[in-house]
Amino acid sequence: MKRDISPDAPECLRLTREDMTNTRRNALLERNRQLGRIEAALARMEGGQFGLCTQCGEAIPRDMLEADPAMARCQDCVEIC
Ligand SMILES: [Zn+2]
């Protein structure tokens, strides 16, 4: 079946400027979120708290930190939230 992607296509098939703006905004928000997590991890490192769960204080397993060095909470606390 031939799909109609011409400018006259139904609204649901068109990628609008608004869609692209939203995509870019979401990418920026995600980048800022990641930056915030990394800065918080660096602050924990400077404060000697790196690798400890910010919620319960238990050590975060090494494999979790290797997968995501900015991990702030242990598996148990991540699952509770
Ligand atoms: Zn915890």
- DSSP character at residue 65: H
pLDDT tens per residue, range 7-41:
566 666 778 899 999 999 999 999 999 999 999 99
pTM over 0.85? The answer is no
Q: Does residue 6 fall inside a structural domain? A: no
Residue 40 forms part of a structural domain: yes
Residue at 34: amino acid letter: Q
2 within a domain of the structure (yes/no)? no
CATH number at residue 51: 1.20.120.910
Question: Which of 29, 40, 46 lies closest to 69, judged by CA?
Answer: 40
- The CA 32 to ligand 1 mean position distance, Å, reads 24
Asked whether residue 24 is assigned to any structural domain, the reply reads yes
Between the CA of 45 and the centroid of ligand 1 the distance, in Å, is 17
Label residue 5 exposed, middle or buried (CB < 10 Å: 0-12, 13-18, 19+): exposed
* Structural domain that includes position 32: 16-80
Domain membership flag for residue 36: yes
**What is the distance in A from the centroid of ligand 1 to the CA of 50?**
13
User: How many domains, in total, are found in the chain?
Assistant: 1
User: How far does the centroid of ligand 1 lie from the alpha carbon of residue 46, in Å?
Assistant: 20
Cα of 43 to ligand 1 centre, how many Å? Answer: 18
Query: What is the percent of the chain where pLDDT is above 90?
Result: 78
